[in-house]
Amino acid sequence: MTDRALAVVRAGALTTVQDTGRPGHAHLGVPRSGALDAPAAALVNRLVGNPPGAAVLETTLDGCALRPRSAVTVAVGGAPCPVAVDGRPAPWGAPVHVPAGALLEVGTAVSGVRGYVAVSGGIAVEPVLGSRSTDLLSGLGPPPLRNGAVLPLGRPGVPHARVDVAPQPAPPAELVLRVTLGPRDDWCAPEAVRTFTSRAYRVSPASNRIGLRTDGPALTRARTGELPSEGMVLGAVQVPPDGRPVVFLADHPTTGGYPVIGVVRAADLPAAAQARPGTPVRFVAVRHR
């Protein structure tokens, strides 16, 4: 077993290949995709000696199990979870040597939602429009992992990072999202805008890579009728007919017809990727993104 490949023993609830995504194609109707918690993905890449944009695995809640066909260095970050190699505990958030044929087990998240697994050399699936990311909305990129799948690996680059402690932000106990109001906040009643920026919401179990859905007070409209479909950006907060705000994440559609009451700062979105259902959410109005 000397080939550079990774066999999927247990795919988990939802494990996808992600890198920095494919921004710049929205005019063609192509979402940006990419790792929802980009800082966590970049950190595990650094820990194994990969460039920041190398493709990693993004797990959801219950991790995965992998068997490399050649010796590799791996790092697991993002949502904290147990890690084991052939049944022996291994460190989370640090480089780990995994021999050829050994079983790497990434366990269920203790907190947070999405874990990131970097392998020295990166996941070398065929890129589509310059990215190896799985896009759940459009279907571009490799499909979500299945048991028995085999993923090619690239050649290792520089030696892995040697650090005593890697800074990893904890998943949020309360998700605070700074938001610039507009461009369609005038489609909501004035009291609805005040509700949006003063009342508490919670992360809905219906959230996914397309959008973080919320439960809480419904926002009432000031206008009736339909808004013509228009371009959407990462972090846009739509108000659908039920009045509960939806924050667009990496796999969001490029156009939409519901009013956008505001746009969340990009720096706040990685925390949204780790917010579990039931997590309190507060939208705080700011003047600039």
Show me where the domains of the chain are located. Answer: 5-152, 175-286
Query: Which secondary-structure segment (H or E) carries 134?
Result: none
Contact 141, 19 (CB under 8 A): no
For residue 35, CA distances in Å to 23, 60, 151, 184, 243 come to 12, 12, 18, 28, 28
pLDDT in tens, the chain (289 residues): 458 999 999 999 999 999 999 999 999 899 999 999 999 999 999 999 999 999 999 999 999 999 999 999 999 999 999 999 999 999 999 999 999 999 999 999 999 999 999 999 999 999 999 999 999 999 999 999 999 999 999 998 777 666 656 677 788 999 999 999 999 999 999 999 999 999 999 999 999 999 999 999 999 999 988 899 999 999 999 999 999 999 999 999 999 999 999 999 999 999 999 999 999 999 999 986 4
Q: What is this structure's pTM?
A: 0.95
**Rounded to an integer, what distance in angstroms lies between the CA atom of residue 61 and that of residue 183?**
35
- CATH homologous superfamily of 175-286 equals Cyclophilin-like (2.40.100.10)
**Amino acid in the structure at residue 44:** V
Angle at 53 between CA 49 and CA 59, to 5 degrees: 90
